[in-house]
A and B are shown apart, each in its own frame.
Chain A
Amino acid sequence: MLILAIVTALLLIISFIFNATKTISALRIALRMFLNLLPQMIPVLFFIAFILALLPPEAIEKYMGQDSGITGFLVAGAAGSVALIPGFVAYPMAGVLVKNGVSYPVISVFITTLMMVGILTLPIERKFFGWKVSITRNILSFAAAITIGTAMALLWRFL
Chain B
Amino acid sequence: MKSYFKKNKYEIIITFLMGIFVLFSHIYDYKTGIDSARNFSESIIEMISFLPLIFILIGLFDVWIPRGVIEKHLGENSGLMSIVWMILLAMLQAGPLYGAFPVAYMLWKKGTSVRNIFIYIGAFTTMKLPMLSFEIGFLGLKFSLLRTILSMPVFIIIAVIMQKKFGKSFSMNDGKH
Contact = CB atoms under 8 A, between A and B. Distances in A.
Contact of A46 (B18, B125, B150): B18
21 contacts: A4-B50, A4-B54, A12-B60, A26-B60, A27-B59, A30-B56, A42-B44, A45-B43, A46-B18, A48-B39, A49-B38, A53-B33, A87-B96, A87-B131, A88-B131, A95-B46, A95-B139, A107-B143, A108-B143, A121-B98, A148-B151
Chain A at the B interface: SS class: helix
A151 B150 contact: yes
Interface in A16-52: 22-23, 25-31, 33-35, 37, 39-43, 45-46, 48-50, 52
A12 B46 CA distance: 22
Shortest Cβ-Cβ A-B pairs, 6 listed: A95-B138, A49-B39, A53-B35, A26-B59, A30-B59, A39-B11
Contacts of A78: none
Contacts of B105: 128
A91 B60 contact: no
Interface of A: 1, 4-5, 7-8, 11-12, 15, 22-23, 25-31, 33-35, 37, 39-43, 45-46, 48-50, 52-54, 86-88, 91-92, 94-96, 98, 104, 107-108, 111-112, 115-116, 118, 121, 124-125, 127-130, 132-133, 136-137, 140-141, 144, 147-148, 151-152, 155-156, 159
Contact of A115 (B11, B44, B50, B125): B125
Contacts of B161: 140
B97 A94 contact: no
Interface residues of B, number: 76
A41 B11 CA distance: 9
Contact of B63 (A29, A35, A112, A116): A29
B98 A49 contact: no
The interface residues of chain B, by DSSP majority, are classed as helix
Nearest to B48: A38
